[in-house]
Amino acid sequence: MTTVYDFSATAIDGAEQSLDQYRGQALLIVNTASKCGFTGQYAGLETLHREFADKPFEVLGFPCNQFGEQEPGKAAEIASFCSTTYGVDFPMFDKVEVNGRNRHPLFDWLTSQKKGFLGSRDIKWNFTKFLTDREGRVVARYAPQVEPEAIKADIEKLI
């Protein structure tokens, strides 16, 4: 059976990173963007990261430029913006595509596990969130307008 731990992605610093390093942790995986109406959610995601820092939980951010070209920068620019503007300390990855022919394998799997509105696999906008349990299975998908704070109770059930 495939789990989230079977995938790898390029970290924001350019290093290839296996998600197996998060084995045993619940994960909140989010496609992000720096110039979006939901960009302020970085603050809430960082709050979750800090609040559960001593628990088996991690937030993983995956910048994406597929929605209104709201993530135009290079990896270093994205990392600097997130750190400087929102104090982001949770793991960030290099830009990925979350829809279409070049969809990153991780998001191909995530969207096959939990479909969105009307059963669509496609991600509709930035800040769509996927929650996985400590065994690496997708347990929930949240729409972009769902604030990170609203997911807290679901995270607590998993950790």
How many structural domains are present in the chain?
1
Say what the pLDDT of residue 92 is: 97
Say what the pLDDT of residue 20 is: 98
Task: Give the three-class secondary structure for 65.
Answer: coil
How many CA atoms are closer than 13 Å to the CA of 8, on its beta-carbon side?
A: 6
Query: Do the Cβ atoms of 47 and 28 come closer than 8 Å?
Result: no
Say what the pLDDT of residue 53 is: 96
Say what the pLDDT of residue 119 is: 83
pTM: 0.96
Helix ranges (DSSP H) in 2-103: 41-51, 75-86
Note if 64 is an active site residue: no
Say what the pLDDT of residue 140 is: 97
Cα 126 from chain centre: 10
Which residues form the domain of 125? Answer: 4-158
Q: From first to last of its 159 residues, what are the pLDDT tens digits of the chain? A: 899 999 999 999 999 999 999 999 999 999 999 999 999 999 999 999 999 999 999 999 999 999 999 999 999 999 999 999 999 999 999 999 999 999 999 999 999 999 988 788 999 999 999 999 999 999 999 999 999 999 999 999 999
Say what the pLDDT of residue 120 is: 86
CATH number at residue 70: 3.40.30.10
Q: Which of 36, 92, 151, 155 is catalytic?
A: 36
